[in-house]
Amino acid sequence: MEMDEQVELNLRERTLIDLFSAFEGAYGPSFECKYYPCHFSGQDCTFCYCPFYPCLNYDMGGEIKLTSEGKFVWSCQDCWLIHDKKFAEDVILALSRFPRQRLVEEDWFFFNSILQELIYGEVVVKPEEGNYNLMEAVLAEKECEECEDRDTEILAVRLDNFSIGSVRRITNLEEAENEVLIPLKEKNRYYGFMDGAYVVCRGSLRLI
Ligand code: SF4
C-alpha cells in the first residue's frame, strides 16, 4: 500500500474528494455499493457525502441527535435531497464555478449560503456579530403563532470547522456566542424567535 493511502482522511476531506469527483459528471444509482440504497431505491449516488454537511437546516429533513457516546451529531437519515438526480446536478453546477482551492479553504458559512441559494433561491441568512440565525430561513413560510405557554428555548450550535462542537439550549438571542441558532424541534413543531416574538410553527419540509 502506498504511503498516501495509509493516511486516514477526516469526513471533510472525504467530502471534498467526493465533490471533486462529482465534477466529472452525475453518476446515477450505484447498484454495486454494499450500502445501496442507503436512502431510497433508484437514488442518485453522485454524492456519497453531502458537501453541505452538517447543514443544520430542518427543511431538508435532518435533525440533531445525541449518540450513545453522548456526542451531538446532525443526522441526515431522513434527508433524500443529495440523492435526487436533479439536485445533485444543481449542486455540481453551483459549486463547480469556484476554483477547487477556494472550495477547500471555504468555511461552513460559505457552503450554507450556497445551499440556501439552491433551496430558497437566495441567501436568507448572513452572519451577524459572529452568530448565524438560521431560524430566519427555517421558520419563514411556515404557519407560526406566538407561543406564550412555555420557556423561550432555542438551540445554539457551536461548530468546530464542519463538525458540531456543542449544542445548548438558550432562552434569548443575546445569549448566543459565535453560534448557529436553530429552532427547537419537537416532532413536527418548531419553536423559535421570529420578528422578536417567540413562536411555534408547523409546516412541511421544503424538499425540492
Ligand atoms: S440534511 Fe440533507 S442537505 Fe443537510 S447535510 Fe444532511 S444530506 Fe446534506
Res 6: pLDDT: 53
The whole model's pTM is what? 0.91
pLDDT < 50: residue spans in the chain: 1-4
Res 205: pLDDT: 64
pLDDT in tens, 13-30: 999 999 999 998 767 888
88 lines ligand 1 (CB under 6 A): no
- Nearest residue by C-alpha to atom 2 in ligand 1: 79
State the closest ligand 1 atom to the C-alpha of 76, by its place in the atom list counted from 1.
Answer: 6
Res 7: pLDDT: 66
What is the C-alpha to C-alpha distance for residues 9 and 145, in angstroms, rounded to an integer? Answer: 45
Res 132: pLDDT: 96
